[in-house]
Chain A
Amino acid sequence: EVQLVESGGGLVQPGGSLRLSCAASGFTFSDHYMDWVRQAPGKGLEWVGRIRKNANSYTTEHAASVKGRFTISRDDSKNSLYLQMNSLKTEDTAVYYCARAKYDSRVFFPDYWGQGTLVTVSS
């Protein structure tokens, strides 16, 4: 069974930093691209970014809203995904989900999601 468990959320002041983790199990983590998606309270879903696998040099893509502030990384030896968030703004307040990306018909799409971790940016 695919399981994704996020951790590391909490309350942080504007301008601060936080590192989210996502522990994966039930599948071969190293074979998959991985995504981060967030959802502000009462709002819709926003894609944050993606990290490719080793065969694709672990390259990343980020949404413009977080580029230069957020960094996605992974440790395949620990089956873990990370989101380093710096220079946090109040508008970064959201539930952050990690998701496995599945490949089919030449596209990658999130198929399984974690339960999410809440990040609150407030003074």
Chain B
Amino acid sequence: DIQLTQSPSFLSASVGDRVTITCRASQGISSSLAWYQQKPGKAPKLLIYTASTLHSGVPSAFSGSGSGTEFTLTISSLQPEDFATYYCLQLNTYPLTFGGGTKVEIK
């Protein structure tokens, strides 16, 4: 199975900060990666797919990059509604696998 390692697992930041989350795959997955945001008690929401394509309705402050084994999710200016847990998901090979998550909290 392909393992995804997210870092950091926890991040404390302030409103307006630029935030970067990394997802590393145990083997190459081309651009077959998606990012999700999840708030407590809610279902995950798709942010980005194929590593860098912004899902409809997602603010342009979110961006994704990378290919192969290293990927990043960047929030250019953190807003109060962005405090949540973020997950990457590899779509290249079955079984699909998620990263362990990155919790973004208010500093």
> Measuring CB to CB, which residues of chain A are less than 8 angstroms from any residue of chain B?
35, 37, 44-47, 50, 61-64, 97, 102, 104-105, 107-116
Contacts and interface: CB of A to CB of B under 8 A. Distances in A.
Contact of A109 (B38, B43, B46): B46
A117 B46 CA distance: 19
B77 interface: no
A97 B43 contact: yes
Nearest to B38: A45
B92 interface: yes
B36 to A, nearest CB: 8
Report, nearest first, the 3 A-B pairs whose CB atoms are least far apart: A113-B43, A47-B96, A107-B91
Interface of B: 1, 31-32, 34, 36, 38, 42-46, 49-50, 53, 55, 87, 89, 91-92, 94-101
Q: Kindly name the residue among A45, A97, A105 whose own CB sees the greatest number of chain B CB atoms within 10 A.
A: A45
B43 A114 contact: yes
A107 B93 CA distance: 10
Contacts of B94: 50, 61
A44 B36 CA distance: 12
Nearest to B92: A107
A109 B89 contact: yes
A111 B46 contact: yes
